[in-house]
Amino acid sequence: MFIRNGWYVAATAAEVGRSLLARRICGEPVVLFRKEDGTPVAMEDRCPHRKTQLSLGSLVGDEVQCLYHGLRFDCDGACTFIPGQANIPPRLRARVYPLFEKHTWLWIWPGDPALADPETIPDYHWNDAPGWTPVGGYLNFRADYRLLVDNLLDLTHETYVHARTIGNMAVAHTPQQTETEGDIVRVTRIMKDCDPPPLFRRARNFTGNIDRWQKIDFEPPAHIRIDAGGAAVSPADAGKVLNWWILNALTPETTDSTHYFWTVSRNFSQDDAELSELVRRQTVQTFEEDRAVLESQQRMIETDPAGGGLLAINCDAGGVAARRIIDARLRAEAP
C-alpha cells in the first residue's frame, strides 16, 4: 500500500520545536521534536515498555520522557533511565527514523534507514529560493493518497470543480501529452489564445486572452510539481506574464487519509502582500473543492458492492502511469 523506501514530508519546519508533535506516517505513529541545538528528530511514538504514546510525555533536555512510567529515551532511541532500576535492558529501544530539513519541510524515510540518501530528497527549491515568493499550508484529506495523485495529474477537472478560481473550458477541451521517463511522469497541456481563469485575471490584471500552460511532474513516492502560467496575447497586455509553481507533497497518513503539504511560489509581484493573501485564499478554496470531491470518492469506493475498481479515459493517462510506477515500487519492496 505504501512505498516505504522513499522520502515523505513529515511536517513543515515551523511546526516542529521543543514540544512533542504526534503524526501518523504511512500508518506508523511518529513523534517529532527538535534537540536543544535545533536538530529535528523523528522517533516511533510508542514506548517499547508498555506501548504508551511517547508524545504524551515531555522533553528532558534532548531525551523523551514517557508519561506512564518515566522511562527516558535519547535521540538514538536508546533507553537511558528507568526510575528505581539501574539495569537497562538493551531491548528497551524506540525506533528512530532518518529525518532531514530541506526547502522549509522536514523529510522522513519510513523504510530501511541504510537506503536513506538525503541527496535524493525531491527538489522543492521554490519553497525558499531567491526570486520566488511562496505561500503554503497543510491540509488533511480523508482519502487514499493515490486519489490525490490521480487528481493532480488530471487537471481536466479544473473546468468543472474549480470554475470560480483556476478553471475554464480551455482546460477540458485541450488535449494533454503524457510522457514517462524512468520513474518520472510528465503531463503537459498548452492552451493557446484562451480566456484567463478568474485567479489569473485577478493576479495579473489581464484584459484579454492568454497563452496558458500546465506542466506537471510526478515523482514517487507521491510528489507532484506543477509549472503553471500564462502569457498575454493582447497588445493591450504586452509583456504581462504569470508564472507560478504549485508544489504538492502527499504523505500517506493511513490507507484512507493523507497529509497534504502545499506551496504556491511565484516570481512576480514578490512584495505584494495583498496578492499573497489572495493566492492563499484562492488556493485553499481550490483544495477544499478538491477535498469535497475526493473524500466523497473515497466513501463511494469503500461502499461499492462491485469492489471499487476505477475505469480510465484519455484524461487519466498521467494518473495511470503514476500508479504503474507506484505498483512497481511496491512489488520491489514486497518480501
Q: pLDDT tens, position by position, for the chain (335 residues)?
A: 899 999 999 999 999 999 999 999 999 999 999 999 999 999 999 999 999 999 999 999 999 999 999 999 999 999 999 999 999 999 999 999 999 999 999 999 999 999 999 999 999 999 999 999 999 999 999 999 999 999 999 988 887 888 777 777 778 888 899 999 999 999 999 999 999 988 888 899 999 999 999 999 999 999 999 999 999 998 889 899 999 999 999 999 999 999 999 999 999 999 999 999 999 999 999 999 999 999 999 999 999 988 878 999 888 999 999 999 999 999 999 98
Q: What is the pTM of this model?
A: 0.94
Cell of 193: 489564445
CATH class of the domain defined by 125-333: alpha beta
Kindly report the number of other CB atoms within 10 A of residue 163's CB atom. 14
Domain with CATH 2.102.10.10 in the chain: 8-117
Residue 305: per-residue pLDDT: 87
- Residue 31 · residue 45 · CB < 8 Å: yes
Q: What is the side-by-side strand order in the sheet with 28-34?
A: 21-25, 28-34, 40-44, 96-97
The mean predicted confidence, pLDDT, of the chain is: 95
Domain with CATH 3.90.380.10 in the chain: 125-333
Angstrom CA distances, 14 to 105, 120, 143, 241, stand at: 8, 22, 25, 32
Is the CATH code 2.102.10.10 the one for domain 8-117?
yes
One DSSP character per residue, 97-135 reads E-EEEETTEEEE--S-GGG--GGGS---GGGT-TT-EEE
Kindly report, residue by residue over 107-153, the tens digit of the pLDDT. 999 999 999 999 999 999 999 999 999 999 999 999 999 999 999 99
Residue 306: per-residue pLDDT: 84
Q: Which residues of 243-266 are buried (b: 16+ CB within 10 A; e: fewer)?
A: bbbbbbbbbbbbebbbbbbbbbbb
Ramachandran angles phi, psi of 109, nearest 5°: -120, 105
Kindly report, residue by residue over 23-56, the tens digit of the pLDDT. 999 999 999 999 999 999 999 999 999 999 999 9
- Torsion 125-130-136-138 (CA) sign: positive
